């Protein structure tokens, strides 16, 4: 994974919880294979996908996001914490 992609993913490692204006999300998986990321995000091209679950919804189902980490995102819990 290139440094640029790592910077775009930010601290979203498996097990991390982060929050932004859209909600609070637990990271379930990272996909760094561009072909698989594009398939999951239903785009022609993608560099990565983050599989997340909305922790504020009891019925939250996993889904893929391809947004880059910004100053609007806030890490609530680092990955690997249990």
- Could you read off the pLDDT of 20-50 as tens digits, one per residue? 999 999 999 999 999 999 999 999 999 999 9
Q: Is residue 76 part of a domain?
A: no
Find out whether 79 and 14 touch, Cβ atoms under 8 Å.
Answer: yes
CA distances from 66 to 58, 60, 63, 73 (A): 23, 18, 10, 14
pTM for the full model? 0.91
Quickly list DSSP for 6-75: HHHHTT--TT-EEEETTEEEEEEEEE--HHHHHHHHTSS--S-EEEEEETT-TTPPPEEE-PPP-TT-EE
Q: Is residue 40 part of a domain?
A: yes
Q: Which domain holds residue 7?
A: 3-70
Q: Is residue 77 part of a domain?
A: no
What percent of the chain shows pLDDT beyond 90? 90
């Amino acid at each position: 994974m290139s440094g640029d992609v790592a910077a775009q993913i930010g601290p979203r490692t498996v097990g991390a919880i982060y929050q932004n204006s859209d909600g609070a999300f637990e990271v379930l998986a990272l996909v760094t294979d561009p072909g698989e990321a594009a398939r999951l995000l239903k785009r022609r091209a993608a560099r990565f996908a983050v599989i997340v679950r909305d922790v504020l919804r009891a019925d939250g189902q996993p889904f893929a996001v391809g947004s880059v980490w910004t100053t609007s995102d806030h890490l609530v819990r680092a990955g690997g914490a249990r």
